[in-house]
Amino acid sequence: MRLRPLVLFAAMLLSGSAAFAATPVLVIHGGAGVLRADLTPETEALVRADLEAALAAGYGVLKDGGSSLDAVGKAIVVLEDSPRFNAGKGAVFTHDGRNELDAAIMDGATLRAGAIAGVHRIKNPVLLARAVMDKSPHVLMVGDGAEAFAQGVGFELVDPGYFRTERRWRQLQEVLGKEAAGQQSSLGRMVHYGTVGAVALDRAGHLAAATSTGGMTNKRYGRVGDSPIIGAGTYANAHCAVSGTGWGEYYIRSVAAHEICARVAWGKQSLAKAADAVIMQVIPKLGGDGGAIALDAQGNIAMPFNTDGMYRGWVGKDGKPHVAILKD
């Protein structure tokens, strides 16, 4: 009989009893390419509503005891379905007038990951990235091969016209016009942003990260940025989860998402210091800019960015939704 308390204690540990459960946390972003001058009251209201809807969808999963993987996927689907973000429905156009979509998802508890790049007919790229992780032996699939795989596992392909929005088409025409006029700076800083992402901590203490994007306006055929590159724009392990948004080439070169998590895992820096060092120092030193959302296993949040603003939202340990756009 004396052993019974020890037996019960062991059973509670193995069963993941609520007494030892982590407090769920969800953080999302809708891109760091926010210009203060372009943010009208109407746009701000619509974006805030979208961010709040994404938080409600993702946190609802966590609140019901669901996994961090399911939560980040749910949140991102809401943002992919909105025409106001550069992912899914609102994706930007390539130089050739097409939409090429990329996405990735990663499970911090197991280091499993799935990613897709350069697809044209997948309504919710984050869901295909999850399918690559769950239903294939691969991590990254691209283009026609990724779409063939999608059909094989039951995805319906949409007409490419689904992704077209007039705002994104006008942006491309403006950049092409400047390019034709010999203004090489037409690939200026604001065309490099526009990504949606989510990181989450569930009751089991597991972290996950996911990112989805249409890339950069006027990108050349087949260009792939950081979002679907595990370790660059998306990464999660047992200590940390990160989703980035910014000039992808520099996030790839600095392996930004992994670098943040590595600094945390090694115990050399807190999450806030690690994220700040990479986003505010390493990437700008190389010539890039942008932002990121990061979350650690204790539920601490970091959201650094070095642009005018970053669409972002979070439900922290207080269990309440918060939304912000500009630095102030």
**What number of CA atoms fall less than 13 Å from residue 3's CA on the CB side?**
2
The secondary structure of 235-293 as a DSSP string is EE-SSEEEEEEE-HHHHHHTTHHHHHHHHHHTTSS-HHHHHHHIIIIIHHHHT--EEEE
Fold classified for 24-324: Glutamine Phosphoribosylpyrophosphate, subunit 1, domain 1 (3.60.20)
Q: What is the pLDDT of residue 83?
A: 96
Query: 20-38: string of b/e by CB count within 10 Å (b at 16+)?
Result: eebebbbbbbbbbbbeeee
Of these ranges, 36-40, 132-136, 175-179, 182-186, the one predicted with the greatest mean pLDDT is: 132-136
Which has the closest alpha carbon to 215: 259, 255, 171? 171
Closest residue by Cα to residue 197 from 143, 278, 129: 129
Q: Give yes or no for residue 185 having a pLDDT over 80.
A: no
307 is catalytic: no
The answer to whether 26 and 58 are in contact (CB under 8 A) is yes
Residue 193: per-residue pLDDT: 63
Mean pLDDT of the chain: 91
Is the pLDDT score of 328 beyond 80? no
The domain locations on the chain are 24-324
The per-residue pLDDT for range 235-277, each reduced to its tens digit, is 999 999 999 999 999 999 999 999 999 999 987 799 999 999 9
**Largest Cα–Cα distance in the chain?**
86
Which member of 23, 94, 165, 195 is catalytic? 195
Q: Are 90 and 82 in contact (CB under 8 A)?
A: yes
DSSP letter for 155, please: P
Classify each residue of 62-72 as buried b or exposed e, where b means 16 or more C-beta atoms within 10 Å of its C-beta: beeebbbbbbb
Q: What is the pLDDT of residue 45?
A: 96
Residue 87: count other Cβ atoms within 10 Å of its Cβ.
32
Considering only residues 276 and 186, tell me which one the structure prediction assigns the higher pLDDT: 276
Return d(Cα 36, Cα 311) in angstroms, integer.
12
